[in-house]
Chains A and B, each alone.
Chain A
Amino acid sequence: MRDGFDDFVRSRSTGLLRIAYLLTGDRHSAEDLVQEVLEQMYVKWRRIHSMPEAYARRALVNRAANRWRRRGRRPEAPLGSHDVAAPDHSEHVVVRDTVVEALRALPPRQRAAVVLRYLEDLPVAEVARALDCSEGNVKSSVSRGLTRLRAALDPVTTTTERGRA
Chain B
Amino acid sequence: MTDTDIRTALEQATGDLRTPPDLLDRVRAGGRRRVVRRRTVLAAGLATIAAGGTAGALISGGDGGGTPVASPLLDHPTRGDLKRDTAFLDDVRTAWRHHLGGLPVRGEPHVAWAGLAPLYAGIAVVAQRTPQRVSSPIGQISYGLTGFVEQTRDGLRVMSLEEMLTGATNSAAVLLGPDHNVLMVLDDGRGIGYSPALAYTEQGRISRTFTPFDFRLHDGVAFGATPQSQTLVRVALRAGRPDSRGDRSVGLANLSQLVADTGRGAPPAGTARRARLLAGPAFEADDKWDLSGRDGYDDPYGYRITPPPAGTWILRGTTADGRRFVVQTLTSTDDRVRLFLSLGTPEPVLRGFPDPAAPLPVQVRLPDGQGVVVAAPGRLRYRVAGRTWLPISGDAALLPAAADEVEVTTARGQAVRVRLA
A residues near B (Cβ < 8 Å) are 1-3, 5-7, 9-11, 13-14, 17-18, 21-22, 27, 30-31, 34-35, 38-44, 46-51, 54-55, 58-59, 62, 85, 92, 95-96, 99-100, 114-115, 118-119, 121, 129, 132, 146, 149-150, 153-154, 157
Q: Which residues on the B side are within 8 Å of A31 (C-beta)?
A: 19-20, 23
| B27 near A39: Cβ-Cβ < 8 Å | yes
Contacts of A44 in B (CB 8 A): 136
A-B contact count (CB 8 A): 144
A58 contacts across to B, CB distance below 8 A:
137-138
Interchain CB contact under 8 A, A9 and B137: no
| Complex Cα spacing A47 to B139, Å | 12
**Are the CB atoms of B1 and A6 closer together than 8 Å?**
no
B36's nearest neighbour on chain A, judged by CB, is A43
- Knowing A6-B292, A27-B17, A39-B27, say if A46 contacts B168 (CB, 8 Å): yes
Q: With A and B bound together, what is the CA distance between A8 and B303 in angstroms? A: 20
User: B234-252 toward A: CB 8 Å interface, digit per residue (1/0)?
Assistant: 0000000000111101010
Residues 246-283 of B, flagged 1 when their CB comes within 8 A of A and 0 if not, give 11010100000000000000000000000000000000
- Interface membership of B24, Cβ < 8 A: yes
Across the two chains, which residue of chain B brings its CB closest to A47? B168
B168: A residues at CB distance < 8 A? 46-47
Q: Does B28 contact A (CB under 8 A)?
A: yes
B14–A18 CB distance below 8 A: yes
Chain A residues, CB < 8 A from B285: 10, 13-14
Give the residues in chain A near B137, CB-CB below 8 Å. Answer: 54-55, 58-59, 62, 132
Nearest CB in chain B: distance from A138 CB, A: 15
The answer to whether A157 touches B1, judged by C-beta atoms less than 8 angstroms apart, is yes
Q: Is the CB of B24 within 8 A of A9?
A: yes
Among residues 142 to 179 in chain B, which have CB atoms less than 8 Å away from a CB atom of chain A?
A: 165, 167-169
Residues 9-56 (chain B) with a chain A CB within 8 angstroms: 9-14, 16-20, 23-24, 26-28, 30-32, 34-35, 38
Q: How far is the CA of A59 from the CA of B138 in the complex (A)?
A: 10
Contacts A9-B24, A118-B3, A149-B6 given; does A43 touch B31 at CB 8 Å: yes
Please, which residues of chain A bring their CB within 8 A of the CB of B203? Answer: none
Query: A39-B34, A48-B136, A58-B138 are contacts. A118–B6 as well, Cβ < 8 Å?
Result: yes
Contact of A96 among B13, B28, B35, B140 (CB under 8 A): B13
Instruction: Offer 12 A-B interface pairs, CB within 8 angstroms, sorted by A.
Output: A1-B249, A6-B24, A13-B23, A38-B31, A42-B30, A42-B35, A51-B138, A95-B12, A115-B10, A119-B14, A150-B6, A153-B9
Q: Collect the chain A residues with CB atoms within 8 Å of residue B293's CB.
A: 5-7, 10
Asked, given contacts A21-B14, A119-B14, whether A99 binds B24 with beta carbons under 8 Å apart, the answer is: no
Which chain B residues lie closer than 8 Å to A115 at the CB level?
10
Residue of A51, A62, A129 contacting most chain B CB atoms (<10 Å): A51
Closest B-chain residue to A99, C-beta based?
Answer: B13
Partner of A38, one of B5, B14, B27, B139: B27
Quick check: B13 and A47 within 8 Å, CB to CB?
no
Q: Determine if B85 is an interface residue (Cβ-Cβ < 8 Å).
A: no
Asked if A17 and B17 sit within 8 Å, CB to CB, the answer is yes
Which A residues are CB-close (under 8 A) to B368?
A: none
Chain A nearest Cβ from B134, distance in angstroms: 9
Residues of A with C-beta under 8 A to B28: 42
| Closest chain A residue to B333, Cβ basis | A1
Nearest A-chain residue to B2, judged by Cβ: A150
Contact between B286 and A10, CB atoms less than 8 A apart = yes
Partner of A35, one of B10, B12, B14, B27: B27
Our pick among B5, B26, B301 for the contact of A1 (Cβ within 8 Å) is B301
CB-CB under 8 A from A95, the residues of chain B are 9, 12-13
Q: Which residues of B contact A85 (CB under 8 A)?
A: 16
Least CB separation from A94: chain B residue: B12
Question: Once bound together, how far apart are the Cα atoms of A99 and B24, in whole Å?
Answer: 29
- Assuming the contacts A51-B138, A54-B137, asked whether A154 and B12 have C-beta atoms less than 8 A apart, the reply is no
Identify which of A9, A48, A99 contacts B9 (C-beta below 8 A): A99
